[in-house]
Structure 1
Amino acid sequence: MTEPQSALLLRRQLAELNKNPVDGFSAGLIDDNDLYRWEVLIIGPPDTLFEGGVFKAHLTFPKDYPLRPPKMKFITEIWHPNVDKNGEVCISILHEPGEDKYGYEKPEERWLPIHTVETILISVISMLADPNGDSPANVDAAKEWREDRNGEFKRKVARCVRKSQETAFE
């Protein structure tokens, strides 16, 4: 039986990341027999509130990848305007391709088949460094980020960073 295109592509991206690791994250399969479920570790970007954090997340790819985007969910607790309280990442490039029914995002900001695991994770690292407060998945975090960035928001992020360091290698 031949492997579907999506599996070949994912296998190639995994091999590429193993051969040429990218600063800021590492990625691998959750289960060696399932190319559609990845575990990633994202290192909190330097000079941000998330610096020093080690955040574990899962990427779940649809069978028709790369025509449709994967879903990304943080397993490690994270306090961020663009991550909902269940850990689901809300970022433009992970939104289904095409027109935004709310007219908020341009089609070219949404999912495109040229995206790879690497471009997704670089976008997520950038999102950690620079949240989009205009389109929050976590309204409470967005409100704190706007109104009390160096107070309550910073304290909650620091707690998540500490917790992530304690649980990173469990």
Structure 2
Amino acid sequence: MAESQSALLLQRQLKELSKSPVPGFSAGLVGDNIYEWDVMILGPEGTLYEGGFFKARLSFPTSYPQMPPQMRFISQMWHPNVYEDGRVCISILHEPGEDRWGYESAAERWLPVHTVETIVLSVISMLSGPNDESPANAKAAKEWREDPSAFKKRVQRTVRQSEEDMYQ
């Protein structure tokens, strides 16, 4: 029962996104699996990621929207809030409830009102302003803080690579 409800909700969100596209990203199913979505994020204007085309995957649990999806960049990504394996680490993708480490409030974490649109817009916001206080990628956060020009060069290489990957 829960699986069919989550599938219907995801189908409705996909239909809404195709009817009213949101600037900055596009999304579609992986094959015909409603629980696996490919997302293309355009690097936000005015950021180090501007001009990039970043592929990511959203994997939804059958308990969605009670539990959050996982998001992972398939494209190379150098960012303090993205693990080296591409997994995205932002508050709204963390399981609902209180944070056992006391870093995030329950209101910052996953809530069933979030949609694919709010998730991806949060990721775009993350690209615009990294949170280096609780990084997923400590090396990227250290470079962001201590050697901004090296960080910028590495991100520029990542953007160039994403552009090349688009045309392969």
TM-score normalised per structure 1: 0.96
Q: Which amino acid aligns with 1:135?
A: S
1:16 maps to 2:16: yes
Structure 2 CA distance for aligned equivalents of residues 3 and 60 of structure 1: 14
Deviations 1:100-158 (A, max 9, x none): 00000000000000000000000000000000000100000000111111x11001100
Q: Which amino acid aligns with 1:50?
A: Y
- Specify the alignment match of 2:4 in structure 1: 4
1:45 maps to 2:58: no
Structure 2 CA distance for aligned equivalents of residues 144 and 2 of structure 1: 44
- Alpha carbons of 1:137 and 1:26: their partners in 2 closer, same or farther (altered >3 Å)? same
Cα distance, 1:35 vs structure 2: 0.1
- Aligned to 2:12, what secondary structure does the other structure show? helix
CA contact (8 A) 2:2 2:62 kept: no
Q: Which amino acid aligns with 1:24?
A: G
- Specify the alignment match of 1:30 in structure 2: 30
- Aligned to 1:56, what secondary structure does the other structure show? strand
Q: Which amino acid aligns with 2:5?
A: Q
Q: Which amino acid aligns with 1:7?
A: A
Alignment of 1:27-106 (within 5 A): 27-32=27-32, 34-106=33-105
Identical amino acids, percent of aligned pairs: 64
CA contact (8 A) 1:79 1:141 kept: yes
- Specify the alignment match of 2:158 in structure 1: 160
RMSD: 1.4
Moved over 2 A (4+): none
- Aligned to 1:28, what secondary structure does the other structure show? strand
Structure 1 CA distance for aligned equivalents of residues 122 and 8 of structure 2: 23
Cα distance, 1:53 vs structure 2: 0.3
Q: Which amino acid aligns with 1:104?
A: Y
Structure 2 CA distance for aligned equivalents of residues 152 and 95 of structure 1: 30
- Aligned to 1:41, what secondary structure does the other structure show? strand
- Aligned to 2:158, what secondary structure does the other structure show? helix
- Alpha carbons of 1:47 and 1:36: their partners in 2 closer, same or farther (altered >3 Å)? same
Unaligned runs of 5+ in 2: none
Unaligned runs of 5+ in 1: none
TM-score normalised per structure 2: 0.97
